[in-house]
Structure 1
Amino acid sequence: MSTQMIVTVLYDSGYGHTAKQAQAVADGVRRVPEAEVELIAVAGGDAPWDKLAASDAIIFGSPTYNGTVSARLKKVMEDSTRTAWISQSWRNKIAAGFTNSGAMHGDKLNSLVTMALFAAQHGMIWVGLDIFPGKSPQEKNRVGGWLGAMAQSHDESPELSPISSDLDTAAYLGQRVAEVTKQFMAGAGQ
């Protein structure tokens, strides 16, 4: 008997580039049997706390602005104190993250660290990338992230960037999170 799992991609996107990355993460989740994915943009206001509570995994995504996550994602993080942190209702959920900025590096690591620390405070289990950094622009993980998926978007429309290798990296992260979640649920006897 199979168990349906819910992986939520909770993200912010200022200009559409990170939304494109979020879609790639969701496409990767869909590669795993029994995985259902929910894309939730935080730009709409309050987070859907009931959907987040029902999720088996939450993948956080944000553009990197001024060396950290966006103000809208940060607001969700702060608002989670009463709804999820005090009760530790996200404890043992699988977590991961992805980010995007205009520069090749652009302090993206700090955004992923912010997300990982947030997840740790909630008692979540963080999943990073397990692929070596690519040596060319055509390879996955070309930006060289281990903590999560990183993408670069130049000052151009989301139709042109992030490039396909960055989106492939994001899809790989989504698939990996779904596989780890499935493995974790099987081990927990759910």
Structure 2
Amino acid sequence: MKVVVIFHSVTGTTKKLAHSIASGAAMEPGVEVVTVEIVGADIVEGRFRNIELLRQLDNADAIIFGSPTYMGCVSAQFKAFTDATSEWWARQAWANKIAAGFTIGANLSGDQLSTIQYLQVFASQHGMFWVGLDTPGNYDPAMRNRLGAQSGLIAHSVDTDLNETDLLTARYLGQRVVQTAKKLAA
């Protein structure tokens, strides 16, 4: 089974979450995990141009999308990536793959949920199966999902330090995506 975690990060916090998700997914036996970062060189004159990166996603069983929240949505760099997937959408090349998403913002109520909802709609347009969290906020004995988002991982940091429970939730999301993919494949 192959899992790809694709993300854009500005301050490094989204990248830390991506690597925690990847480590959680890698805890499951028989899983290959690849992390792919969207970088400035991928975008030329406002358009995402890294077609090889897009092709990497074709062989994935699960794709986990991540972006910081800016102005209530994904970053412009991540949006350029999603806009570049129209050929894959037309072919429904990612249909029946597992999808999940994560974001981080500097404000507790910084409209991070709308970023998760954007990622969820994006995955649905591609015919993917969305996996959220099954841990009720503030009721999980392991203290996961401290901000209470069921649709995906929402984290908060006012600097580059991440709350340890957000990293724990990230690892759990990686595990949950793999476990769900295995159930669907059975």
Q: TM-score, normalised by structure 1?
A: 0.89
Residue 180 of structure 2 is aligned to residue 180 of structure 1: yes
- How far apart in 1 are the matches of 2:139 and 2:109? 15
CA distance in 2, matches of 1:30, 1:124: 21
Q: What is the rounded CA distance, in whole Å, between the counterparts of 2:139 and 2:185 in structure 1?
A: 35
Residue 84 of structure 2 is matched in structure 1 by: 79
Alignment of 1:1-190 (within 5 A): 5-43=1-39, 44-45=41-42, 46=50, 48-82=53-87, 84-134=88-138, 139-154=143-158, 156=159, 158=160, 161-186=161-186
> How far apart are the structure 1 equivalents of 2:89 and 2:56?
15
SS in 2 for 1:86: helix
Unaligned runs of 5+ in 1: none
Q: In 2, are the aligned partners of 1:105 and 1:143 still within 8 Å (CA)?
A: no
| TM-score, normalised relative to structure 2 | 0.91
What's the CA shift for 1:135? Answer: 6.0
Q: Which runs of 4+ in 1 moved over 6 A?
A: none
Q: CA deviation at 1:105?
A: 2.2
In structure 1, what residue type is equivalent to 2:25? V
State the identity %.
Answer: 41
Report how many aligned residue pairs link the two structures: 176
CA offset digits 1:4-27 (Å, max 9, x no partner): x00000001011011001111001
Calculate the aligned-residue CA RMSD, in Å: 1.4
For 1:68, the aligned partner's letter is: C
DSSP-derived class of the 1:28 partner: helix
